Structure 1
């Protein structure tokens, strides 16, 4: 896939694809023909962009995403160390899920108050 196709399929801009590549979130795309500047992106690159987009939508920073990707790809890390790092990220996801659930309850309670005509205003 060329950059336009991968960007379209992933729902991001071409600049975003280039940015992720510069940040090291994507492996350098192959340039099969030295006679032009076209790069070929793999299906793995598409899946990676989709993962990044999803993680960002859930509130993870690009640095946090890069940490997980880096841990996964580091050959210097033993499998046990990779498991520890990934489990740590899973705990962070679980903590965020819990925080979101608490926020949802609070918002639902606020909505119930608004719909019932109750007010939190102090009397004058």
Structure 2
């Protein structure tokens, strides 16, 4: 698929795809016909793009996302190293989940107090 179709399916602008390619988050798409500049993207590219978009939505930085992608695709890492790296990322996600749950409770508490007189003592 060409970049327009990829962007439509992933819900991202073309500039985002190009930026991710420059940053190494997406592999450079092939140009099967050397006489034009059209790049061809695969279903794997679409899947990776959707994963990046989802991870960003959840608050992960591009650097954090790049770490996971690098370990996943790098053949120099053993299976054990890949598992250990992904396990560390899973622990980070669980920590974020706990922090978000605490934040949620605080926001609900604040929401319930809206419009009431402030009588909290310091």
Q: TM-score, normalised by structure 2?
A: 0.94
Unaligned runs of 5+ in 2: none
Matched residue, 2:57: 57
Q: Deviations over 1:21-67 (max 9, x none)?
A: 11111111111101101000001101101100000011000000000
Q: Deviations over 1:53-95 (max 9, x none)?
A: 0000110000000000000011111110110000000001111
* Cα offset, 1:17, TM superposition: 0.3
Q: What's the secondary structure of 2:55's corresponding residue?
A: helix
Task: List structure 1 segments (4+ residues) > 6 angstroms apart after TM superposition.
Answer: none
Matched residue, 2:118: 120
Matched residue, 1:69: 69
**Is residue 27 of structure 2 the alignment partner of residue 27 of structure 1?**
yes
Alignment of 1:1-124 (within 5 A): 1-114=1-114, 117-120=115-118
Aligned partners of 2:53 and 2:118: how far apart in 1? Answer: 38
* Cα offset, 1:121, TM superposition: 5.9
Aligned partners of 1:98 and 1:18: how far apart in 2? Answer: 34
Q: TM-score, normalised by structure 1?
A: 0.93
Unaligned runs of 5+ in 1: none
* Cα offset, 1:118, TM superposition: 2.1
Aligned length: 121
- CA RMSD in angstroms comes to 1.4
